[in-house]
Structures are given as structure tokens and as C-alpha cells.
Structure 1
Amino acid sequence: MLSKKITAALNAQIAQEAAASSAYLAMASWCDREGLGNCAQFFYAQSDEERMHMLKIVHYVNEMDGHAIVPAVEQPETEFESVQKVFKKSYKQEKAVTASINELMSLSQEEKDHSTMVFLQWYVAEQREEEAMVRDILDKIKLIGDGPQSLYYIDKELQQINENRPAEEAEA
């Protein structure tokens, strides 16, 4: 059984994952509108992944005799200055989720909730991978630059990442 503090913290994480899913969906839509199909595909997949992360926590809370609360989600940002800004926002979001997962892990240790600590270990590893992937994309965007043809090359880079993604997720 989960303590009230752990249940509240997990419900807050559910809300954060839902907000991240919504934000990625908005980023995907923006990329679609800007003709960046591969970037859009990347963010659609990110949105799906964040929703899956949320659902895993919902199932865990309910399985542990808690009560998972489905949150209302605020309207995410829908307009961006550039694809570079979209990925910078994505990186900032991933760092915030990582910090939240780390706080949850610390709380689980304080509460001596070993089951939740084990459950959260997957999220710790997942967030390390997510941050590294987005940071790598940002590094590539920096190398490509922001000249007139940069959007084409950025979108091509994302095509490669999208093609490699299913193989990486199958290994997880």
C-alpha cells in the first residue's frame, strides 16, 4: 500500500507526464504545419511515449491500492519561433521530468517504499536516455546551423532518428 505522500507525488507525476504528452503533441502539430514531417513524426512518437509513461504510473498507483487521479491538462504552447526553439523547449521539459523522477525516488527512499523505488528505476534509466537523445539532436542542430537549407538537413537527421527508434525501443 502506498502512503498518502507517495500517492500524492505519483499523482503529480501523472499530471506532469500528461502535460508533457500534450506539449509534444503541440510541437508535432507545429512541425507538421511547418513542413517538417520527420520532426513531426518524432514529436508524435514522443507524445505517445509520455502518455505511456503516464499510464504506467496510473496502473501502478491503482495496483498498489491507491487512487490514480486523471489530471486536467492546460493548453500547451502552440507557436514556436524555430525548430531549434522547439527542441530547446523539449530538452528543458525532459530535464524537468528527470528532476521530478529524482524527487520521487528520494521520497520513496525516505518513506522506505521499496516497491515504488523499484518501479521508478525504469523511469530513471528512461529519463537518462531521453535527455541524451534530445541533447544529441540539439548538438546536431547546432552543427547544421540556421542557414536557408538547415531545415531540410535537420528534418533529414530526424528521419534517421525515427528509423532507428523502433529498434532502440524494442531493446528496452
Structure 2
Amino acid sequence: MLDKKVKELINEQITWEFYSAYLYLDFANYYYDQGLDGFAHWYDVQAQEERDHAMLMRQYLINNGERVTFGEVAKPDKTYNGLGDPLKAGLEHEQYVTSLINKIYKAADDVDDYRTMQCFDWFVKEQGEEEKNADDLIKKFKLFGSDPKALYALDQELMARVYAAPTLTL
């Protein structure tokens, strides 16, 4: 049985992961509207990853005999005044999610819950990758976004992103 606080934080995180998927689908919708299908595709893949993170956490709770409770998933309320706005919002969001993952890890550490810490080692590493990817995308956009030909090339590069299911063993 998991510590009550750890279980509650993981349940809350499941909702945040589903929100992340909604947020990234909202980014994708914006980019589809702008005719940047590669950017949209990149965020469609990102949304799938976030959904899978939620499902992994759900399965972790189930595997540990805990009840999964879903919270309400908020509607994304971002407004975009330029093509770079979703990119910046994405990095800020990933940094926030990192803080939430760290909070779970700390709560598990406080009660010597090594099993949860071992599981969340993967999420800690994943968040580092998520932040780097978001930051790299911002850097590329700053370099190429003002040149239509370079923006087109970047859009094509992003269209090539392939979804890879996570390989975390619970």
C-alpha cells in the first residue's frame, strides 16, 4: 500500500498529464489553423506521449492496489498572438510538470517509498528530455521562424517526428 500523500499526488498528476495532452492538442489545432502541419503533428505526437504518461501512472497505482481517481481536466485557456507563443507556453508548462514530478519524488523519499522512487526515476529523466525538446524547438524557431523558406523546412522536419511508446516497466 502506498503512502496516502504519495497516492494523492500521483492521482493529481494523472489529471495534469491528461491536461498536458489537451494543451498540446490545443497547440496542434492552432498550428493546423496557421497551415503549419509539421508543428501541429509534433504537438499531436507530444499529446500522445502525455496521455501515455497518465496511463503509466494509472497502471502503477493499479499495480499497487490503489484506487485511481480522475480529477476534472481543465480546458486550455491560452491565446496565441504569434507562431512562437505555443512554443514558449510549452516550455513553461513542462517546467511546471517537472516541479510536480519532483514533488511526488520528494514525497516518496520522505516515507522511504523506494518502489515509487524507482518508478519515478523514469519520469524525472523524461521531464529532462521534455524540457530540452521544448527549449530546442524554441531555439530553432528563433533561428528560422522569420524566414519563410527556413520556417517551411523546419515545419517539414517536425512532420517527420515519429511516435515511440514509452518502455517503462512498472
1:102-121 mapped onto 2 (5 Å cutoff): 102-121=102-121
Structure with the largest fraction of helix: 1
For residues 145 and 26 of structure 1, do their structure 2 counterparts lie closer, same or farther at Cα, with a shift above 3 Å needed? closer
Shift of 1:38: 0.4
Find the counterpart in structure 2 of residue 137 from structure 1.
Answer: 137
Distance 1:150 1:84 in 2: 15
| Structure 1 residue ranges without an equivalent (≥5) | none
Which residue number in structure 2 is paired with residue 159 of structure 1?
A: 159
Distance 2:140 2:15 in 1: 31
Q: What amino acid maps onto 1:31 in structure 2?
A: Y
- 1:72-127, Cα deviation, whole Å (9 max, x unpaired): 21111364112211100011111111111111111110011111001101101111
Cα distance change, pair 26–145 in 1 and its aligned pair in 2 (3 A): closer
Q: Contact (CA 8 Å) 1:30, 1:79: kept in 2 or not?
A: no
Amino acid at match of 1:30: Y
Distance of 1:76 and 1:57 partners within structure 2: 22
Cα distance in 1, alignment partners of residues 138 and 71 from structure 2: 31
Moved over 2 A (4+): 145-154, 169-172
Give the superposition deviation at 1:152: 2.3
Task: State TM-score, norm by structure 1.
Answer: 0.89
RMSD over aligned Cα atoms: 1.9
Q: Give the alignment's TM-score, normalised by structure 2.
A: 0.90
1: distance between equivalents of 2:157 and 2:134? 12
- Partner of residue 21, structure 1: 21
User: Comparing both chains, which one has the higher relative contact order based on Cα–Cα distances under 8 Å and sequence gaps of 6 or more?
Assistant: 2
Q: Does the 8 Å CA contact 1:18/1:71 hold for their aligned counterparts?
A: no
Distance 1:9 1:101, change over 3 A: same
SS for the counterpart of 1:50 is helix
* Residue aligned with 2:65, SS: coil
Post-superposition shift, 1:154?
3.7
Q: What is the number of equivalent residue pairs in this alignment?
A: 167
Residue 92 (structure 1) aligns with = 92
Q: Distance in 1 between matches of 2:6 and 2:24?
A: 27
* Other structure's SS at 1:28 match: helix
| Structure 2, unaligned runs of 5 or more | none
